[in-house]
Structure 1
């Protein structure tokens, strides 16, 4: 077998683990199962990830970064705060939720696993801190570029975006109904935009 750098193996095994976890869940996914998914001997897997917990930690970190990157890339910052919120939420749903219940179930399961596992509960907190920080950042940037103000702190608006999406995603994976989910997503987005109370900052006239 040709030599492959540990960093490449790391990515390969995380991808294989994500496939196995999405299909079989945390409880039924072992290092051996992931090694089989990746097409390598168990010993090769254990060289990079000596334990299942280390592998799950890497998967959680990978999923968090992927979701954060989607949030970061989704928003159009040049059309003002309302446009950014509407575009960001819609793009997130299209890319990571619609038709991807397996990903969302895996993500919830990993979050619960992190909360219940000693030494990993900080990952769950970091997950939500990461998401809200990214959203707060692009909300603030969009408002500043358009010369707008927001009626609530950007961090609070971001937390409510994340919590609203969490609820809609849970409903979607428990009872998939794309048309209903779209209607609810639009209604929630309208409520969030209303909460933001976007206003254009008054121009300051030099004396």
Structure 2
């Protein structure tokens, strides 16, 4: 077999695991199925990820980073806080939710699996704290560059935004009504912006 660098092999395996998870779900995913999907020997996969739990951890971390990178690249942080909220939420909704509903179901499965599996409980907490960390930084940077401030703490605003989007995703997974989803996203954005009560920073 041709030598492949560890980092490249890991990415290959994680991509294969995500494909198997979408097809078979968490309960149906096996290490053997992932190896077949990746086109590599079972032993090679087990060398990189000795257990299914380690592989699932890597998948969760990979999904979280995909979302955070999309959020960071989706909005113009120089156009003000309200504009950043609108652009960021719509980008996540259209590019990550509507475009890949099966992966949203996998995310919920992975979160519940982590909460119910000894040794993975902290992973679910990390997942959502990571979301909140990234959104907080994004909100703060958008406000700072525009010379604005939010009326409420940025981390609290980020938690509300993550919770709102997460709830709408679950409803969309259960009932993928595109028009209803669009209207609900508009409502969520309006509520978050109204709650933030954006104003010019002192001295701006």
Aligned residues: 204
**Equivalent position of 2:65 in the other structure:** 65
Bigger Rg, which one: 1
Please state how far the C-alpha of 1:95 moved relative to its aligned partner: 1.3
Aligned residue runs from structure 1 range 126-137, under 5 A: 126-137=126-137
Q: Counterparts of 1:39 and 1:201 in 2: how far apart (Å)?
A: 56
SS in 2 for 1:4: coil
TM-score for both structures, normalised by structure 2:
0.96
**1: CA distance between counterparts of 2:152 and 2:67?**
24
CA contact (8 A) 1:71 1:131 kept: no
CA distance in 1, matches of 2:94, 2:28: 29
Structure with more of its chain in helix, by fraction: 2
Structure 2: give runs of 5+ residues left out of the alignment. Answer: none
Structure 1 position 53 matched with structure 2 position 60: no
TM-score, length basis structure 1: 0.95
Which 4+ residue blocks in structure 1 deviate beyond 3 angstroms? none
Alignment of 1:66-81 (within 5 A): 66-81=66-81
Once the two structures are superposed, what CA deviation does each residue of 1:165-199 show, in whole Å capped at 9, x if it has no partner?
Answer: 01100010100111110011001100000000011
Q: Which residue of structure 2 lines up, in the alignment, with residue 116 of structure 1?
A: 116
Q: Which runs of 5+ in 1 are unaligned?
A: none
CA contact (8 A) 1:77 1:141 kept: yes
Deviation at 1:202, TM superposition (A): 4.5
Which residue does 2:107 correspond to in 1?
Answer: 107
CA distance in 1, matches of 2:131, 2:74: 13
SS at match of 1:182: helix
